[in-house]
Amino acid sequence: MRLVLRSLPQMVVMAAIVTSALFVPVGALLIWLSFALFGVSLRAVVTFGSLLTVLEGLLAWWALLFLPALVYAACVMPWSAREYGVQESEGPR
């Protein structure tokens, strides 16, 4: 359990970096597809159909992209106790 708690902040930082790096390319692809397939404007996609302001919409899209990045970070995280300096217990005596 200590291993998971120690690696949680590192996993969140890794997910934030992945989300930030992929935010522009994934967003551009999503906006291009929505315009090409459905004729939806850039502003409508970013603001969720004028439900949010532009800044709130960008933050909401970042948060939505953060969730799969967090799953990705959890899958590729090295779950070895030696990596984090955690003593492995020998179990009950």
Share of the chain residues as helix, strand and coil, in percent rounded to the nearest 5 = 75, 0, 25
pTM: 0.75
* 4-18 pLDDT, tens digit each: 677 888 889 999 999
Indicate the average pLDDT of the chain: 86
Q: Is the pLDDT of residue 25 over 90?
A: yes
Residue 10 has a pLDDT of: 87
Q: What percent of the chain has pLDDT over 70?
A: 81
* 57-83 pLDDT, tens digit each: 999 999 999 999 999 988 887 766 555
72, two tokens:
């990705």
